[in-house]
Amino acid sequence: MRVADVVHVAGRALLRNKMRSFLTALGIIIGVGAVIATVAIGEGARARVEQAFSSMGTNVLIVSSGAKTSGGVKAGAGTLPTLTWDDMRAIREVTDVRYVAPRVHATVQIVAEDRNWSTAVNGTTPEMFDIRNWPAQRGSLLTTNQVDAGAKTVVLGATVARALFGASTDPTGQTVRIANVPFQVVGVAAAKGQSAGGNDYDDVAFIPVTTFLAKIQGGLQKFIPGTILVEVTNDDVTVAVGERVSALLRDRHGIVDGGDDDFSIKNLTETASRKEESTEALTLLLASIAGVSLLVGGIGIMNIMLVSVTERTREIGVRMAVGAKPRHVRLQFLAEAVALALAGGVIGVGAGTLAAERLATHFGWPMLVRPGVIAVAVGFSAAVGICFGLYPAHKASRLDPIQALRYE
């Protein structure tokens, strides 16, 4: 028997009972659709988390000074300045480190002509903008020359620029007073939006770190009264670089084995991956529930195939009488079950993708239906067809032609 004939016979049998075939396939449609939609939504949620973290830089380490201890009470990280400018220069030489930037900050009032605004003024270097993937929206960012010269230049965050100059005015070239010192606005940083915690990333201003130390908040010459941001070359080495930096600092600070660090290194990737893990677990849970519905769909196929075998006993008898071998009959019914499941799978992929698209648009998530997921879903539905079609097909092939012919 030719393959084309098997397909033809199966297709015709299914089309003969269109409504029944559709309802049977519906179980698979819903199952596959649910799998596609839940996985897509899960991926979308994960991509959103990733996006949120990459706006801060997932391959970033934050090195802070140690905590001050007074009378057994430990203050928070950074309360005891232990990191030095030399430490920072040394970190720059560590393998796989791409950028290093200091960050010192204070909340200061900024005054424009007729408005004022209190914000976090950060003293830093141009590398900070690279680390945080932060381009300029207007004008330019800080330059190395400005840092070296201790120039009185400032880059405003989008929120600050709006608060001082309004949304329509370009503040570039204007003068603002920060802690009563006049600064020239050289640019406005691109808007980053809010953090997951509700903090406004754009409520900020940046000035050269040298200027900050000289004019805003002085410190000891040798120490950095803030943190060091380190960007590594790629996500995979973040942890390794963290360990290298830790070893370097312990060595430089002369900490003996077993002694506590007088600094701390935070890794944004860790937080990000924890969030991702929880999203992944949720996706897995939803997908397995969807998978169960696929199994239920398979049982529906088996059920209807058994009914079909009984209904068509006489047809099976006729086919066997004129020369159909048991395997021809088995193949025929198996082909019908697989065709049902596959059709359900393909329609389910379409329905699931559509549903995922709708939800993604609704929540403003990125839409992610990967070809791999589609392939797995279609393959799985074919497998369901084979598994649940096997028994009815076997039953059909075992019929005695004489009894089948006499079946009423």
Q: How far apart are CB 391 and other proteins at their closest, in Å? A: 19
Judged by beta carbon, residue 47 or residue 405, the one nearer other proteins is: 405
Judged by beta carbon, residue 251 or residue 311, the one nearer other proteins is: 311
Q: How far apart are CB 338 and other proteins at their closest, in Å? A: 20
CA dist., res. 369 & res. 390, Å (int): 31
Q: How far apart are CB 304 and other proteins at their closest, in Å? A: 19
| C-beta contacts of 398-406 below 8 A and 24+ residues apart | 398/326, 399/313, 399/316, 399/317, 399/320, 399/329, 401/316, 401/317, 401/320, 401/321, 402/317, 403/317, 404/313, 404/314, 404/316, 404/317, 404/320, 405/314, 405/317, 405/318, 405/321, 406/317
| Helices 18-54, 326-363: inter-axial angle, 10-degree rounding | 40
CA dist., res. 49 & res. 52, Å (int): 5
Judged by beta carbon, residue 48 or residue 319, the one nearer other proteins is: 319
- DSSP letters for 363-382: HTPPP---HHHHHHHHHHHH
CA dist., res. 131 & res. 206, Å (int): 14
Q: How far apart are CB 278 and other proteins at their closest, in Å? A: 56
Q: How far apart are CB 320 and other proteins at their closest, in Å? A: 7
CA dist., res. 290 & res. 29, Å (int): 11
Judged by beta carbon, residue 39 or residue 399, the one nearer other proteins is: 399
User: Which residues are CB-contacts of 307 (< 8 A; sequence separation ≥ 6)?
Assistant: none
Q: How far apart are CB 18 and other proteins at their closest, in Å? A: 13
CA dist., res. 38 & res. 45, Å (int): 10
Q: How far apart are CB 400 and other proteins at their closest, in Å? A: 8
Judged by beta carbon, residue 252 or residue 394, the one nearer other proteins is: 394
Closest CA to 157 of 129, 179, 180: 129
Judged by beta carbon, residue 267 or residue 313, the one nearer other proteins is: 313
Q: How far apart are CB 325 and other proteins at their closest, in Å? A: 4
3-state SS assignment for residue 155: strand
Judged by beta carbon, residue 6 or residue 265, the one nearer other proteins is: 6
Contacts with other proteins by CB under 8 A lie at 1-2, 4-5, 16, 314-315, 317-328, 400-402, 405
Contact (CB, 8 A) for 391 and 298: no
Q: How far apart are CB 6 and other proteins at their closest, in Å? A: 10
Contact (CB, 8 A) for 276 and 50: yes
Judged by beta carbon, residue 326 or residue 366, the one nearer other proteins is: 326
DSSP 8-state secondary structure symbol assigned to residue 222: S
Q: How far apart are CB 4 and other proteins at their closest, in Å? A: 8
Judged by beta carbon, residue 1 or residue 375, the one nearer other proteins is: 1
Joined tokens for residue 279: 């999203």
Contact (CB, 8 A) for 61 and 264: no
Residue 210: how many other CB atoms lie within 10 Å: 16
Judged by beta carbon, residue 4 or residue 19, the one nearer other proteins is: 4
